[in-house]
Structure 1
Amino acid sequence: MTASVPPLPAAAVGQPVLMNPGPVVLDDRVRAALAGPDLCHREPEFSDLLTRIRHKTTLVAGGGPAHTSVLLTGSGTSAVEAAIASAVPADGGLLVLDNGHYGERFAHIAAAHGIRAHRLELGWGTPLDTDLIERALAADPGLTHVGVVHHETSTGMLNDVAAVARIAHAHGREVIVDAVSSVGAERIAPAEDGVDWLAGSANKCLEGAPGLAFVTATRAAFEALAGRPRRTYYLDLHRHYTAQEKGLPAFTPGIPACYAFEAALDLALAEGREARHARYAALAGQLRAGLEALGLELLLPPAQRAVGLTALRLPASAGYEELHRRLRAAGFVIYRAQERLAADHWRLSTMGRMTSADIDRFLAALADILRDS
C-alpha cells in the first residue's frame, strides 16, 4: 500500500489551484498512474486490476463483509442514475428529498426512466425535516425507495443520511444516497448507517481522475436485481455486477482512469477517512475564517456545512465574472453558484491536494481584488 505523505502544493505541478468541486488537483502519483501501459480489458491483468479496485472502493466507501462495489465508466451522475434506474422496481416509487440542485436531480432522473416520484421540496439550504419524511412514507406505501444527497454541493450542506435511513427502514423502504461529493472525506458507512445503495465518484474527495463512478451495496441487493425489467442498457447494475463478478467489465472501461483510481484508493486507505476529513476540515476552517475576516457572508451556519465546499455571497464591490478573471490570473479556479443562487453567490472547494499555503495565497489574492474593486 502506498505510504501517506503530506499533500503536494499545486505549484509543484505547475497548474492552477482548482477550487471547483471536482475535478480536483491530483497527487503526482495519481497523475503518473494515468500513463500506465496499454492494456486489453479482456486480459487477466485488467481482471486483477478491476477486482482490486472493487475491493478497495468498498473499503473506502465504508462497506462491510456483505458489501461489494460495481465500477462504471462515467461521471458521478452515471452512478446515481444507475442506482435509481436499477433499484426501484417496476411497481415502485421514489421519495425525493430535495433541498438543492442535486436533490432535484433525483426527480429528473426518475422522470427520465418513467419512475413515479414524490418530490419533497424543502428549499435550497434547508435542513431535512424528518417529520415530513415520516409522514410522506406513511401516506404512500408505493414509495419503495428514498433518494437523498449526502453532500448537497449546490449549497455545501451536509444532510443526515443515517437519520433518513432509520426512518426509511422503519417503514420497510430502501435508501439511495448520492455520496458523489462526500465519500472519502465525510463520515458515511453503508454497513453502519443503513445505506442500501451508495453512489460515488472516483474524483472529488477520493482524489482520482475524472471518468469513473461506482455503486456500493450488498451482494444480495445486486443479486436481487435479476429478472427485473431493465430500464437502461449501459447503466443496468445487474449487468455490470454479473460481469464484474467474473472479473470482466460489461463494456470497454476507461483503463487509464482505472490505473489512477487504484493509486488514489491506495492513498485514501493509507491516509484514512478520519485523517482526510480532518485535513479537509482544517483547510475549510482556514478558508472560512479568512473569508469572514474579509467581510464576506457564508451561506450556511457552521453545523450544516460539509468540509469539501463553502458557498458564499458575492461581494457588493465585484461580480462573479470579475472575481473569476482576476483569481484565475492569480492561479486559482473558482466556481459559480447554480440556478437560484447564481445571481448573488459563488462556491469554493477544499477538495483535492490543496495546502494551507494555497489557502493563504488565495485569501491574499482575494483581499487585493476587494481592495481594488
Structure 2
Amino acid sequence: MSAHGSPVGRRWVLMNPGPVNTSEEVRAALGGPDLCHREPEFTSLMSRVRHKATAVCGGNAEHTAVVLTGSGTAALEAAVGVVPDTGGLLVVDNGHYGRRLYEIATLLGIRCVRLELGWGTPIEPDLVDRALAVDPGLTHVAVVHHETSTGMLNDVAALAAVARRHGRRIVVDAISSVGAEPVDIARDGIDWLVGTANKCLEGMPGLSFVCAAHTDFAELRRRAPRSYYLDLGRHYQAQEHAGAPAFTPSVPLFYAFETALDLALAEGTVTRGARYLRLADRLRAGLSALGLRMPVHPRHRAIALTAVELPEGLTFERLHRALKDEGFVVYAAQEQFAGGFFRLSTMGAMDEKDIDSFLAVLARLLPGQEVR
C-alpha cells in the first residue's frame, strides 16, 4: 500500500467479470501525451479506434462504431434508445441483465414486452417467433449475449434470424462477450451490437461503443432523441462527419483502448476464446474435484464466467475476504442467486498459474478448514 492506502504495486487476480486484469502494454498506454480532443491528432486516434472496434465486431465497410465515454451501460442505453416512438421492443430476459434491458426501455418511455423465461433458462427461438407474430408493433428485439448473472451464453444468431424473418431489428448486449465469444455483426445479422473497452477486449473501463450500419446511424438524425448525452445520432454525426467527439472524451482511455484493440485483433477472437476456454476448463475441473456445483449446463456456459454454488456453512462475505487476503478477487451473485452462489471470471490477462493458485487457496478455505 502507498502512504495514502492505495494498492500501488500490488497485483490482485481479478476473477470478477470486469474490470479485468490488463497487460503492461495497455496500462502503459494510459500515459500518452496530453491532447486536446478538438485537434487533428485526436481525430486520427478516434478514427483508428472506431475502425478497430468495428473490425473486432466483425463489421464490414457498411458498418462503423460510435465510441462513448461511459461504461457499457451507457452504450446499452444509447442503443436501446434507437427504438422509434412508433415502435416497440421485445426484451428476451433470462437473467439480471435481460431485466436491465427491460428497465432501461421502460425508463426511456418505450413500449416494451418482456419475455421473462427465468434465470438460467435457455432461450427457445420459437418463443421469440410467436411473440413477434402476435404483436406486429414490436419493431425491435433486445437480448443479452453473455448473461453474466448466471454465466449463460445465449444464441443471438438464432434470435437474429427470427427477427429478420419478421422484418424486425435486433439489439444485442455483447458487453461481456465481444472479443472472445463467437459474435459477428455481419455474419449473424445483428443490427445494433453493444460492447465495452474492458472485459473480453482487455482494455480499461470507461469507454463503450455501439456498432451498426452507417445507414442506421444516419437515420437516427431524422428522429427526436430520447437523451441528450446518449443520443447516438448526435455522436455519429460528430464522429463521422465533424471528425470530433460530441462532448469531451476520456483521452487517456482512447490510448489504452487502441492498444487493447491491437492486441485483440492480433490474437483474434477464436484464439482468445480458446485461451479463455482453457482457463475455464481448468477452473471448472478443479471446482468439480472440490465437490462444488455449477448450475448452468455445460452446453450453455459462456467461456468467460462460471457461477458456483457456495458450500454449506460458508458465506460469500467470508469467502471474499479470505480470498482477497490471498490476492484473488471474486464476485458476488445477484438477486435470485444471491446468498447461494458466487461468480468466477476467466477473462483478462490471467494464466494457468493463476487458476492453479486460486484452486489451491480455495481448497484450504472450504468447510473443515479455518477461514480467517
Give the TM-score taking structure 2 as reference length. 0.96
1:80: Cα distance to partner?
0.7
Give the Cα separation in 1 of the matches to 2:308 and 2:332: 10
| Aligned residue in 2 for 1:272 | 268
Q: Could you list the per-position Cα deviations for residues 7-35 of structure 1 after superposition, in whole angstroms to 9, with x for gaps in the alignment?
A: xxxxxx63110000000011000001111
C-alpha distance in structure 2 between counterparts of 1:92 and 1:343, whole Å: 39
Residue among 342, 352, 367 paired with 2:348: 352
CA contact (8 A) 2:14 2:20 kept: yes
Structure 2 Cα separation of the partners of residues 346 and 14 of structure 1: 24
Q: What is residue 48 of structure 2 aligned with on the other side?
A: 52
1:224 to partner: Cα distance: 1.3
Shift of 1:272: 0.7
For 1:10-49, what aligned pairs fall within 5 Å after superposition?
A: 14-49=10-45
Q: Deviations over 1:305-335 (max 9, x none)?
A: 0011000100113110111011000100000
* 1:132 Cα offset (Å): 1.2
Q: Distance in 2 between matches of 1:130 and 1:274?
A: 25
Q: Supply the distance in 1 between the matched residues of 2:325 and 2:273 (Cα, whole angstroms).
A: 30
Q: Which residue of 1 aligns with 2:363?
A: 367
Q: Which runs of 5+ in 1 are unaligned?
A: 1-12
Matching residue of 1:330: 326
User: 5 Å matches for 1:101-140?
Assistant: 101-140=96-135
* 3-state SS, counterpart of residue 212 of structure 2: strand
Alignment map for 1:1-373 (pairs within 5 Å): 14-85=10-81, 87-245=82-240, 246-370=242-366, 371-373=368-370
Aligned residue pairs total: 361
Query: Does structure 1 retain, via aligned residues, the 8 Å contact 2:66–2:211?
Result: yes
Mapped partners of 1:299, 1:66: distance in 2: 40
In the alignment, the residues of structure 2 paired with residue 206 and residue 25 of structure 1 have an alpha-carbon distance, to the nearest angstrom, of 11
What is the DSSP-based 3-state SS (H/G/I as helix, E as strand, rest coil) of the residue aligned with 2:246? coil
Residue by residue, what CA displacement relative to the aligned partner does 1:215-272 show, whole Å, maximum 9, x if unpaired?
0001011111121011101000010000001310000001111110000000001111
SS of residue matched to 1:225? helix
**Aligned amino acid, residue 117 of structure 2:** L
CA distance in 2, matches of 1:28, 1:14: 14
- Match in the other structure for 2:4: none
Between the aligned partners of 2:103 and 2:318, the Cα distance in structure 1 is: 33
- Distance in structure 2 (CA, Å) of the matches to 1:62 and 1:186: 12
* CA-to-aligned-CA distance 1:264-305 (integer Å, 9 cap, x gap): 000001111111000000000000000000000001111100
Contact 2:315 2:339 (C-alpha < 8 Å) held by counterparts: no
What's the CA shift string for 1:65-95, capped at 9, x where partnerless? 211000000000011100011x201110000
Q: Which structure 1 residue ranges, 4+ long, deviate > 3 Å from structure 2?
A: none
* Whole-Å separation in 2 of the counterparts to 1:101 and 1:20: 16
Shift of 1:181: 0.1
- Measured against aligned partners, the alpha-carbon deviations of 1:166-214 in whole angstroms (never above 9, x if no partner) come to 0001000000000000000001111000100000000000000000000
TM-score by length of 1: 0.96
Aligned to 1:4: none
Instruction: Give the match for residue 7 of structure 1.
Output: none
Name whichever of 349-358 and 217-226 sits farther off. Answer: 217-226
Aligned-partner residue type, residue 262 of structure 1 = E
In structure 2, C-alpha distance between the alignment counterparts of 1:133 and 1:167, rounded to whole Å: 7
Counterpart of 1:347 in structure 2: which amino acid? Answer: R
| One-letter amino acid of the counterpart of residue 279, structure 1 | R
Residue identity in the other structure for 2:344: L
In 1, Cα distance between the equivalents of 2:363 and 2:308? 15
Structure 2 residue aligned with 1:9: none
